[in-house]
A and B are shown apart, each in its own frame.
Chain A
Amino acid sequence: MTDRRLSDQVKEFYAKEQPRDGTLARLLAQHDAITADTPMRRGRTTRTLAASVAFVTLAAALLWSVVTAPDWVTLAAREVALNHRKDLAPEFKANDYDVLRAAMRKLDFVLIAPQHLPEPGLRVTGARYCSIQGHLAAQIKLRDAQGIEYTLYQTHLKPNADASPAEREFVIDGVRIWQWYEGGLLFAFARSME
């Protein structure tokens, strides 16, 4: 029988804890994706050279970041792709929006049934909380007649976001995403691509 300090036993307990397969890889990929989109960071390691060309470099970097920085909608789509690929089990099992609306009390908006979906003939199977760009969101799980799963997201519209009715479409990491605004909410619908 071994005697050890409680703190050592707790330390060993946590040291064995790992997130599920693929989680760290996704977070690291997120790092690469976001830092690759913010080119001002690239120049930080070359501080000694920067002294001689500081003004030009700064001006160029500012211009470049304005031109290429991803907008909020694109960042939200990336997070939707991640959430879709995580394929987490629903916290609430229900077959219609009314039941989910009543169950998901933590949402700071009223969950609504969308007017239309990019795919027809889907039925609701459940939902869970998630977040999109720091906003609490609902991830609603849908399934078609063939058993293929889709996810639908609803969250608050970012203040002063462009709430034009145009639908946007993205393909990110093998996930096709449609985004649109409806009833003052941002909607996103995600489907894995075969």
Chain B
Amino acid sequence: MNEPISDLRALLLSGYRYALSLTHHRSQAEDLVQDAWVAVLQARGPRTRAYLFTAIRSRFLNEHRRERLVPMVPLEDSYDAASDDPPLPDVGPAALERALGALRPVERETFYLASVEGYTADEIGKLMQTPRGTVLSLLHRARAKLRRALAGDIDAVAKT
């Protein structure tokens, strides 16, 4: 997370996908990563995911500072993320995009960081400046919402 990445292309791709998890809008994600990238370069900041993601996140929040992103209700720290994610039928990208769009940005962001970037709850908490329990709560909430949003698609796939 904090190690400099020599492959700038890979770093920028990660940045774009993280921005997409926040905006759920491709053009806005491109704008967001461009703004953050310019800021990182001008600040002569380290070329790390953590630094780029923080720059992206702060710009996103600046644009949405009037919105209350999600009510934060901590769960028990003993929450088991793995058992919360049993296998389900392959629903395809269109259904996933629709379901991801049903999440709040902060839920989508948390799920992205955990699932795609492989961040731990502690690492996500550090990036989001949020307690670990809240991160776990967000993960649980995001997964449950996704499953609910995908219920119709899962039934349709199961019947084929």
Q: A15-B116, A24-B9 are in contact. Are A4 and B88 (CB under 8 A)?
A: yes
Question: Within 8 Å CB of B147, what residues of A?
Answer: 6
Q: Is the CB of B34 within 8 A of A27?
A: yes
Chain A 3-22 interface residues, beta-carbon cutoff 8 Å to B: 3-11, 13-20
Q: Is the CB of B12 within 8 A of A27?
A: yes
**Complex Cα gap A176–B112 (Å):** 40
Say yes or no: is A2 at the interface (Cβ < 8 Å to chain B).
yes
Chain B 87-118 interface residues, beta-carbon cutoff 8 Å to A: 87-91, 93, 96-97, 100, 111-112, 114-116
- Of B8, B35, B44, B96, the residue contacting A28 (CB under 8 A) is B8
Chain A contact residue count (CB 8 A cutoff):
41
Question: Within 8 Å CB of B89, what residues of A?
Answer: 1-3
A44: min CB distance to chain B, Å: 10
Chain B 110-132 near chain A by CB (<8 Å), digits 1 or 0: 01101110000000000000000
A15: min CB distance to chain B, Å: 7
**Complex Cα gap A11–B93 (Å):** 11
Q: Is the CB of A11 within 8 A of B115?
A: yes
Say yes or no: is B41 at the interface (Cβ < 8 Å to chain A).
yes
Of A34-42, A109-117, A153-161, A165-173, the segment with at least 4 beta carbons within 8 Å of chain B is A34-42
Chain B 68-102 interface residues, beta-carbon cutoff 8 Å to A: 85-91, 93, 96-97, 100
Subset of 11 A-B contacts with CB under 8 Å: A2-B90, A5-B88, A10-B111, A13-B97, A14-B20, A19-B30, A19-B33, A23-B34, A27-B33, A31-B41, A133-B38
Residues of A within 8 A of B (CB): 1-11, 13-20, 23-24, 26-28, 30-31, 34-35, 38, 41, 75, 79, 82, 86, 88-89, 106, 130-131, 133-134
Which 3 pairs from chain A and chain B are nearest by CB? Answer: A7-B115, A3-B87, A34-B41
